[in-house]
Structure 1
């Protein structure tokens, strides 16, 4: 028998014997084990070392080997975490569970699945070479690993201020680690737990989850093709007493709608009259399809009503977790205080890389190429849907963003279509989770940025048509 086999046999025997001992009991000496089991001293030494590494025993030089006071759980032993249900009972239902489970493991679809879900660019659309070069240049800076200011690097704050438009100063900018974390911070900073927050209906599920995690109660405000309706917004403020509105005025997720020029002024005026804040989620600022993108609401706000949120993540890469909040007045001091509590500051190397990236001609070239690619992909997906699934209602073809929003025929349900699509190798987002209350109809959100190429989009629609004809 080989030394390794002998060691495995002796380890198994000793485990059985140790199971009948109490913590602190002494094992037989090495000499006794050699004589009892007919093995060599090397085998005994290796077996004891393996058990000690696993935490089963502890060795005390000059004294012997003893059963560990806290024995590890074996792989085949079932864990019991039922006690956590009692400990977490006071916290209430987890607001994020539905977000995670609604569409399955979005980060790891099965091989061969075409991705029409999610909200990030395919690798082929990301500026990988420019990102790598920017990160390399940033790493060579002598102060790259120094502590960053709480509000962010001055050059990066200036970049975000220029992006927002005239009237915004770098001092109004707080650099954040992407948009989602910043959104969570805003909800906690502005509204009191238990209070209402007005949201467009439908809206971004991550915002609903963040609001609920902050203890807020999302209240839906209907929208149409021109965005949120100001008349119903005024009614919602009056009825709820809300002091916060969350909206996406430009290339709204999931519908792709753009708040009309007249309504942009009205929405800010209604919010100001209610003595409330307006969180402007401008995630799609760089995701236009070639047309002029409207000015952010914050650019024309002088009273601190609008708190602007933007990010470089969507147009660049999921791992470029760099965003910014633009705010004026006491709310900025509160946000900076929360930053100190949450994480002190955003990692400096990533901030330096962002400065390097957006300060080069390569960034402008990337945005132009991305705009063209998104426009082409959007048209391909919309044309394929009109051809293969004419009874699915597409309200409009958006002029920006990453998604199409479709209403399903009354004969179909979201769950059935999403399940059949998955069985046919297509991942989609069911529409229910985009509504803060009961949805008025069944919808799907189909993305055109995560697929490998336009041909995959055409193939995905062909599979969807087959799936709905023969639901699985």
Structure 2
């Protein structure tokens, strides 16, 4: 049993016990709970802390844990929030992108959904050591500069290459928040934003929340089509393009070498910004990773977005925006309004992480593991589901992109897959307009081990036979 499930089980037991007791009654001691339920002291401590946070119990150091006074419930049960329908009228915010993966899947479910590494692939010991060293720095809790720690900005600049310097870097709280800030900074509500089709659903959600209108630009097996991009700029008057040139989510496509310069030139000719989402740069599978577009951009057309979240941990919410000119000054102004600065201890931990040789070893190990998992899942799908069309076997990233046969819909698969013990992501949320066909995005990084991926393909085959 995992630590999380042990804590949840003990909390449920203690809630039942608290309900039977009266306010002021003492709960069994931690030693008694450990012996009675066969759990560790950490599990007991966290369970009691949860109950205390809920207001169900009160802890008295040196004395014990006691049932708290009952809080009166509002008359009639649930609070009446109907007044909010009037207060929020005319203030519509588009719904966020659907969660890529529930926080907790049913036991035994193989995760082909989600966009993060399984815990076994995360450098948890390395992260713990970095955070511990960062916390011991005498200035760890001082206010951080609005743009971020100079050392961390230098590390991000060096990662990108070219003539990018630390003065061009703004440290952010991960990639998603940076996207939201960028869209608000460079476009006004009602403006069009050009996006690859398909694209990352979180980008579509951030654009719509900023009041922008996503306009699809088709891709082929060499990435975004420069000819159709030029047409889209001409027809819409857009001044913003969002794209993922390297290990595109969801297709895994890498923008072809001859197109990389063309795409930047088309955006520059339109007087537009090109937001380069480079989230997967550190998720290559061992081959050559092309230079980011921003490394060869001399006039501030490209605004680059990178993050440490994907190759490290979902909770390492540290990323960077690289921008030049007035747009950087605007982003800094928004930072001072939105949140002042990114928490210094997390920035210091990121510096510690990137400065150790163990980080490079982690990336090499991760690269091999992702390559293996990608091959296992691709082979298993070809064997179990030969009528599904795999867009490509990617050379980086975390996903496979598949087109379903004509007789299957996304709803057919997504509704039956969970009953067969596998979770998947539908393709529809990746399209800014009507999709040309039914697709699924299947991840190979969230499962516990490679053998589970082959089992997941067999379960998907069983799910499709059930339709």
Tell me the TM-score range normalised by the shorter chain.
Answer: 0.7 to 0.9
Determine the structure 2 residue equivalent to 1:452.
Answer: 448
Is 1:92 aligned with 2:99? no
* Count of residues in Structure 1 that have an aligned counterpart in Structure 2: 406
Instruction: Summarize the alignment of residues 380-395 of structure 1 with structure 2, pairs less than 5 Å apart.
Output: 380-395=376-391
Distance in 1 (CA, whole Å) between partners of 2:110 and 2:375 is 18
Q: Secondary structure at the match of 1:112?
A: coil
2:323 to 318, 324, 327: 327
Compute the displacement of 1:54 (Å). 5.0
Distance in 1 (CA, whole Å) between partners of 2:454 and 2:290 is 31
8 Å Cα contact 2:94/2:205 also seen in 1: no
Determine the structure 2 residue equivalent to 1:109.
Answer: 105
1:435 to 428, 431, 434: 431
Determine the structure 2 residue equivalent to 1:126.
Answer: 122
What are the superposed Cα offsets for residues 25-60 of structure 1, whole Å, 9 maximum, x if unpaired?
Answer: xxxxxxxxxxxxxxxxxxxxxxxxx99x5566xxxx
Determine the structure 2 residue equivalent to 1:272.
Answer: 268
Compared CA separation, residues 348 and 470, structure 1 to 2 (3 A): same
What are the superposed Cα offsets for residues 333-376 of structure 1, whole Å, 9 maximum, x if unpaired?
Answer: 00000001111011000000000001111000000000000000
Instruction: Summarize the alignment of residues 203-218 of structure 1 with structure 2, pairs less than 5 Å apart.
Output: 203-218=199-214
Compared CA separation, residues 140 and 5, structure 1 to 2 (3 A): closer
Distance in 1 (CA, whole Å) between partners of 2:448 and 2:207 is 33
Q: Secondary structure at the match of 2:238?
A: coil
What are the superposed Cα offsets for residues 299-324 of structure 1, whole Å, 9 maximum, x if unpaired?
Answer: 00001000000000000000000000
Please say which structure displays the higher CA radius of gyration.
Answer: 1
Compared CA separation, residues 6 and 271, structure 1 to 2 (3 A): closer
TM-score (norm 2): 0.84
2:256 to 255, 260, 284: 260
Is 1:231 aligned with 2:227? yes
8 Å Cα contact 2:144/2:344 also seen in 1: yes
Distance in 1 (CA, whole Å) between partners of 2:334 and 2:22 is 56
Determine the structure 1 residue equivalent to 2:186.
Answer: 190
Determine the structure 1 residue equivalent to 2:78.
Answer: 78
Q: Secondary structure at the match of 2:141?
A: coil
What are the superposed Cα offsets for residues 398-434 of structure 1, whole Å, 9 maximum, x if unpaired?
Answer: 0000000000001001011011111111110000000
Compute the displacement of 1:91 (Å). 1.8
Q: Secondary structure at the match of 2:245?
A: coil
Q: Secondary structure at the match of 2:417?
A: helix
Compared CA separation, residues 263 and 5, structure 1 to 2 (3 A): closer
What are the superposed Cα offsets for residues 211-270 of structure 1, whole Å, 9 maximum, x if unpaired?
Answer: 000000000000011111000000000000000000000000000000001110000000
What are the superposed Cα offsets for residues 424-451 of structure 1, whole Å, 9 maximum, x if unpaired?
Answer: 1111000000000011100000000000
Instruction: Summarize the alignment of residues 290-301 of structure 1 with structure 2, pairs less than 5 Å apart.
Output: 290-301=286-297
Determine the structure 2 residue equivalent to 1:422.
Answer: 418
Distance in 1 (CA, whole Å) between partners of 2:22 and 2:304 is 64
Q: CA RMSD in A?
A: 1.8
Distance in 1 (CA, whole Å) between partners of 2:172 and 2:200 is 19
Q: Which runs of 5+ in 2 are unaligned?
A: 1-18, 24-66
TM-score (norm 1): 0.84
Q: Secondary structure at the match of 1:391?
A: coil
2:137 to 141, 150, 171: 141
Q: Which runs of 5+ in 1 are unaligned?
A: 9-49, 57-71
Q: Secondary structure at the match of 1:445?
A: strand
Compared CA separation, residues 5 and 119, structure 1 to 2 (3 A): closer
Compute the displacement of 1:94 (Å). 2.6
Distance in 1 (CA, whole Å) between partners of 2:333 and 2:352 is 28
Compute the displacement of 1:87 (Å). 2.4
